[in-house]
Structure 1
Amino acid sequence: MFSNKRIAGFALAAASAVLLVPAAQAKKPVATFASEDDIFLALRDASRNGDAARAAELAGRLGNYAMPSYVDYFRLRPRIISAPEQEIRDFLSRYEGSAIADRLRNDWLLELGRARNWMLFDEQYPQFVLNDDTQVKCYALMSKALKGQNVADDARGVLVNPQNYGEACPALITTLVQANQFTLDDVWAQVRLIADSGFAGTIKRLAPVTEASETTLMQALDKPDAVLARGPGGNRASHEVFIVALGRSAKNNPSRAVDALVAGAERLNEREREHAWAQIALQTSMKLAPDAIVYWHRTNGAPLSNDAYQWKARTALRAGEWKLVKSTIEAMPASLRNDPAWIYWLGRAHLAEGDQETARKLFSSITDQTNFYGQLALEELGKKISIPQRAEPVTPEELAPMADNAGFRRALKFFDLNMRFEGYREWNWELRKMNERQHLAAAEYARQKNVLDRMVNTSDRTKTEVDFTQRFPTPFRDVMAAATEKLGLDMAWVYGLIRQESRFILNARSHVGASGLMQVMPATAQFVARKIGLSGYSQQQMNDLGTNITLGTNYLNMVLHDLEGSQAMATAAYNAGPGRPRAWRSTLSRAVEGAIFAESIPFTETRDYVKKVLSNATYYAALFENKPQSLKSRLGMVAPKGFVPSELP
């Protein structure tokens, strides 16, 4: 028998041993969740973070969850590099034909490409339905090139957006150089394109095929003025590095870049000089500098990037040089030239030259498109914008399959969980299989479920079976009418803005913190609340319908009055802040059409936003007033501050 003293000693030792157990070996407490939905959301986060152990543990708690395909996907995704091939094949087989299976195949193809496992890649790639991943496309072309196929032209069509290149696209470029399918001209065109986008890591990957050192290339990006101070050098590589440095320097100091080019021009050949001027012209165009048009003239017929072609055309539009507009659009790659924007402006250029027949053909080719440029083209043909005849209403028989659609049910579940990305993927995956009547039925189902953004986007896809009550809904019309009537504000314009801002999602929140139906920024909301005397306002009220509309409409009214009643400029101000449209207007040397002002907005998001909002507003006005409308009148003219109205053309 042990004495009490010895027992006490053993107890003390045991307690000490517990204290000495390393933290890593201590058993972690099991997290508690309020519901299976909360577990599922935690599983999604663990999978995104690459935490395979956590994902497996959480997935194990969801054995009977309503969406087993996503539970399995989130469990497998963090292990896709190490998972047995058969496990991946089993998943693809089990969920064949589903959106999530196509997503996993996308993930797997990326890993197979990185591993250069071309046998499996080539087997799986034809089964990738969406085929919307630039890196996967680059790997597919790389696989073909390694088998001796000439893919240079296809590669040039894919290699246009460096932000999507990843590892795959630089590897493709290297492969094509080694296969003698890409020349140094191709390589340096890519380096200039990537430098414009600022992706230093991607340029590093290309250094071995440029004949320039990585150090020199990085200096052109990070310390361009030091490169310019040395001048162009004496060989092709040093000339190209100098040209890259010109573009980087011109971002901050165009005059310095121009001086450096003028000083070193004689050491460059004619084509190099054209590329050099294009580098400077692109940067000065995006600053709306008046000298940009001079620099574009010095590029002559040099091949340009897609961005450069568009900015050359925009600069010519601002300057009223229709001949240059025409020649620039005609030089664009077909994929760009066939965009409705450039079809419209090419038609306008022909019209300016007196070639009415060609202009009418171009305009007529896009008047069936219910977008900004389709509307403008319609007006060029002497017509106004009206609401097309409504398709026959959806029948109960057409609607029933939508309610039974498993993909739509998953999408609605995701919307309830605020997993909008996954919800959009499921919804859009189902739309691929549907005809126009089914699209209308799906849109009507979305209306019944109060998912108005899906109603709008789904109905927007139809060409002949059209229902504009789906495309341009007017929820909360009593609240909106009261708010706009009080301010004397155009309700069609406000609805057009909301359609673009939030697609009628009440709790929408942008990546920069804008909230609610009218996507008002927190600081803006506070400012407007003070200005209109809204006492007791707090940020928590921003998703309240009445408060959001009150603050949003009052702010819109403020910027409209601040910008002399121009809806084009006020729309830009709502998106980019009121100071920027004033700055953009100040660079004009003459009055320009609102459409030209919109087309030449330097911010891509704002440029797209202004066009869509005013296009929307024109259709809303046609619905409200039940008569044809003019988008051109809504756009008006934009002139420099103090411009004499009598001088308007």
Structure 2
Amino acid sequence: MPMHAPRRRPFRLLALLALCLPLAGPAADAPATLQQRAAFRQAWAAAQQGGEGWRAWDAQLAGYPIYPYLEAAALTHDLRQLDRARVEDYLRRYPDLIPAADLRRDFLLELARRQDWDGFLALYRPGLGDTLACDALQARLAHGARLDFERDLAALWQKPALPGACDPVLQAAHDAGLLTAERLWARIDRAVDAGQGGTVAMLAPWLPADQAQAAQRLAQALRDPAGAALDAQRWPDTPRHRQAAALAVQRLARRQSDSADAAWQALQARFRFTPAQRDAVLYALALYHATDFDERALERLAALPATAQTGASREWRARVALARQDWPAVLAAIEAMPAAQQDDAEWRYFRARALAATGREAAAQTLFAALAAEPGYFGFLAADRLGQSYALCPLDPPSDPQREQALLAEPGLTRAFELYAVGLPRQARREWSRALDGADPATLALAADLAYRNGWYDRAVFVFSSGEALRYYEERFPLASQDGVVPQAGQAGIDPAWAYAIARAESAWMSDARSGADARGLMQLLPQTAAQVARRNGLDWQGGDSLYDPVVNIALGTRYLAQMAARFGGAPWLASAAYNAGPEKVQQWLDARGALPPDLFVASIPYKETREYVARVMAFSVIYDWRLNGKALALSSRMTPVGQPYAPPPAGAPRRPVACPVVAVPAAAPAESASVPAAPASSVAPAAEPAEAASGGSAR
């Protein structure tokens, strides 16, 4: 049996659930469970419309574990017409269930809207979030209570931004004299650090008159750094104005590094900046000139004082040197990094590249050999350099049927699996998280493996994300054949391993994933993009919500991938970058640095998210190729030089075997890790990384 073949185990989830579900009747068998699921789906659709129509399925759903979700859905729909007694009745019957907590929270928001403060206080419980905490303070104020800063506001005051529900409470605190200048400045400084110009602008008028102007200028620096940098030439040289001027230059550097240079030259003579302020400005100027790959970027970064250096500035010194193919400068930049940063797979790989380019082939081969024993993007690149097999050492998660049976008897997990089975993955994940909160790793692994074996793939992706579990390749890289990836990729004319890799990187197999930009489903398509792709390819289009159907999403996503590939000579690595950052951005980068070899080009991508995304997708493509075929195409064959046409591998294309090296596999392999989009949405770059790096997904 090939190592990528699915495992066969004696215990299947459906049978276990049939033993655990408290079903009516003498035999709780799988057909009865399937009938109840069908009845629940119908009742759920009715409950979403409110009223009592959903009760038509009561007889069929007696004892069904997720039955309480139906009533909660109907009550939530009818929220504006509800009285407190009906909500309290539900809470009394289901006090510990998630839908009860949701109903309480939603009805409290409705009571606050009604300003029914008596009812609000009767239902309120602490710990329900900032909005309801402020509504509770409003309720107390309406009953004549007086605010105490330490008791009522101190925790909220630590937040750099608060919801609008807190505005009346803060106004009351101000009117009561509780918001001293010291307290106001403490919160303004937190808001400045978080980039919350709106908070600063709101608080500024409450400062004494001689301080309010300086706070407004801090807000301006955050909101309009170009205007602030220009206006600062007329500001007084006070500590707070110096802070605002330095902040304006730093923020301007992110957008217009040349303009920031000019502003800094003009302001240095006017303000007595502190050493820390000077370092912060010099750092921002050097970093953002580097992301623009300006002519003097390398010299600026190398000249930064030690007090202004960060991991990001040292990293960008190396990236600029790589973009120039200045190999001695690459080595010098890596040598300037702290030991932990140098040990990252990326910098070990590029140290080896630089050593080879400067004639130290033996030292380079030693570094490549060590890297080739690691599974991941840079390990695969190193293996290609040496012509070696890829280092993949698969393991199966431990199996314990008796513990599985006990685990599935836990009511919360039973509800989780049933919610997933009826097509409510968001609710299923919440029940899962609550049921397994505080569980030991062995229990989590059993639960994740059970979920995987029954098609709930994202649980395994998230749970098996570190240590030895990184070797559970079958679970971490599922072959969701029911979603049609292989045939749809074939019809689109792209490599199915690449299509799988994109879906895995985009959503971690969460079919209901939705980003902040409204990208949806497994391959994270924007509805407007999906509509265009459907029209272009003569495919049916049923609107944005149809993207949560995996079959629809895969059909449209593979066609869009093919569209991106066609724009960039078929190259999957460039099309992956375009899928993440947009084709226009990729074209800009090609126009500037298109002569670079692919590995150097990827390293020079200015957006952190896109850089890491391309590396992740390329590594995932290797793993999925192996999962599909038992062997894998060389990663370098997928990363053709710019301008060289690429075609998907034909049937029978030569592939290399994988091997488990004697060298121990590291506990974490960054490019091959379980990194997934948050929410699933685009990940956000660390503060030290250029702000532009946080943008992505604009193409979809």
Fold match (TM-score > 0.5): yes
Which among 57, 61, 68 is matched to residue 97 of structure 2? Answer: 68
Residue in structure 1 matched with residue 532 of structure 2 by the alignment? 527
Deviations 1:513-548 (A, max 9, x none): 44444333333233333333x166443765555544
Residue in structure 2 matched with residue 622 of structure 1 by the alignment? 626
How has the CA–CA distance of structure 1 residues 265 and 42 changed in structure 2, closer, same or farther, with 3 Å as cutoff?
Answer: farther
8 Å contact from structure 2 (residues 518, 526) kept in 1:
yes
Letter in 2 for 1:550: A
- The CA deviation at 1:494 is 0.7
How has the CA–CA distance of structure 1 residues 448 and 120 changed in structure 2, closer, same or farther, with 3 Å as cutoff?
Answer: farther
Mapping of 1:230-245 within 5 angstroms? 230-231=232-233, 234-245=237-248
Deviations 1:202-238 (A, max 9, x none): 5876998999821221232344344433438645443
Deviations 1:265-323 (A, max 9, x none): 45556664443232334444555656544543453324367766665665455445425
- The CA deviation at 1:626 is 2.1
- The CA deviation at 1:419 is 6.2
Which among 387, 392, 405 is matched to residue 392 of structure 2? Answer: 387
Separation in 2 of the partners of 1:408 and 1:371?
Answer: 33
Separation in 1 of the partners of 2:575 and 2:152?
Answer: 54
Deviates more, 1:489-498 or 1:269-278: 269-278
Q: Which runs of 5+ in 1 are unaligned?
A: 1-29, 93-102, 123-134, 140-158, 168-174, 331-336, 642-649
Which among 44, 47, 51 is matched to residue 32 of structure 1? Answer: 51
Residue in structure 1 matched with residue 222 of structure 2 by the alignment? 221
Deviations 1:611-643 (A, max 9, x none): 3322221211122232366545544556899xx
Separation in 2 of the partners of 1:380 and 1:112?
Answer: 64
Letter in 2 for 1:625: N
How has the CA–CA distance of structure 1 residues 324 and 411 changed in structure 2, closer, same or farther, with 3 Å as cutoff?
Answer: farther
Deviations 1:323-375 (A, max 9, x none): 56436642xxxxxx857x9722443465446799899799969976x654666
Query: What SS class does the counterpart of residue 243 from structure 2 fall into?
Result: helix
Which among 385, 402, 407 is matched to residue 402 of structure 1? Answer: 407
Query: What SS class does the counterpart of residue 587 from structure 1 fall into?
Result: helix
How has the CA–CA distance of structure 1 residues 105 and 445 changed in structure 2, closer, same or farther, with 3 Å as cutoff?
Answer: farther
Query: What SS class does the counterpart of residue 468 from structure 2 fall into?
Result: coil
- The CA deviation at 1:261 is 1.9
Separation in 1 of the partners of 2:322 and 2:202?
Answer: 37
Residue in structure 2 matched with residue 326 of structure 1 by the alignment? 334
Separation in 2 of the partners of 1:329 and 1:429?
Answer: 42
Which among 476, 481, 494 is matched to residue 486 of structure 2? Answer: 481
8 Å contact from structure 1 (residues 224, 249) kept in 2:
yes
Which among 194, 198, 201 is matched to residue 199 of structure 2? Answer: 201
Mapping of 1:199-598 within 5 angstroms? 199-201=197-199, 213-229=214-230, 230-231=232-233, 234-266=237-269, 272-286=277-291, 292-303=297-308, 314-315=319-320, 317-320=322-325, 321-323=329-331, 325-326=333-334, 329-330=337-338, 343-348=344-349, 350-351=351-352, 352=354, 372=377, 384-391=389-396, 394-413=399-418, 415=420, 420=425, 423-431=428-436, 433-434=438-439, 437-461=442-466, 463=468, 466-476=471-481, 479-506=484-511, 508-532=513-537, 534=538, 537-539=541-543, 542=547, 546-588=551-593, 590-594=595-599, 597=602
- The CA deviation at 1:495 is 0.7
How has the CA–CA distance of structure 1 residues 215 and 68 changed in structure 2, closer, same or farther, with 3 Å as cutoff?
Answer: closer
- The CA deviation at 1:64 is 4.0
TM-score (norm 1): 0.64
RMSD across aligned positions (CA): 5.5
Identity of aligned residues (%): 20
8 Å contact from structure 1 (residues 386, 622) kept in 2:
no
8 Å contact from structure 1 (residues 514, 521) kept in 2:
yes
Deviations 1:172-226 (A, max 9, x none): xxx9x989xxx99xx98x787544xx54425876998999821221232344344
Q: Which runs of 5+ in 2 are unaligned?
A: 1-48, 55-67, 139-146, 167-178, 646-700
Separation in 2 of the partners of 1:243 and 1:562?
Answer: 43
| 1:609 is aligned to 2:617 | no
Separation in 1 of the partners of 2:101 and 2:239?
Answer: 54
Letter in 2 for 1:322: V
How has the CA–CA distance of structure 1 residues 315 and 412 changed in structure 2, closer, same or farther, with 3 Å as cutoff?
Answer: farther
Letter in 2 for 1:614: M
Separation in 2 of the partners of 1:110 and 1:328?
Answer: 50
8 Å contact from structure 1 (residues 363, 380) kept in 2:
no
TM-score (norm 2): 0.60
How has the CA–CA distance of structure 1 residues 609 and 250 changed in structure 2, closer, same or farther, with 3 Å as cutoff?
Answer: same
Mapping of 1:114-153 within 5 angstroms? none
8 Å contact from structure 2 (residues 589, 605) kept in 1:
no
Separation in 1 of the partners of 2:361 and 2:99?
Answer: 58
Query: What SS class does the counterpart of residue 396 from structure 2 fall into?
Result: coil
Deviates more, 1:289-298 or 1:574-583: 289-298
Letter in 2 for 1:245: A
Separation in 1 of the partners of 2:427 and 2:337?
Answer: 38
- The CA deviation at 1:492 is 0.8
Deviates more, 1:615-624 or 1:453-462: 453-462
Letter in 2 for 1:458: V
Deviations 1:465-522 (A, max 9, x none): 8432211111226933333334442111111111223333445554444444433333
Separation in 1 of the partners of 2:299 and 2:423?
Answer: 50
- The CA deviation at 1:579 is 1.6
Separation in 2 of the partners of 1:558 and 1:239?
Answer: 51
8 Å contact from structure 1 (residues 293, 319) kept in 2:
no
Separation in 1 of the partners of 2:362 and 2:240?
Answer: 47
Separation in 2 of the partners of 1:361 and 1:530?
Answer: 50
Mapping of 1:79-158 within 5 angstroms? none
Name which structure has the greater RCO, CA cutoff 8 Å, separation 6+.
Answer: 2
- The CA deviation at 1:603 is 6.2
- The CA deviation at 1:567 is 1.9
Query: What SS class does the counterpart of residue 484 from structure 2 fall into?
Result: helix
Query: What SS class does the counterpart of residue 480 from structure 2 fall into?
Result: coil
Query: How many correspondences in the alignment?
Result: 539
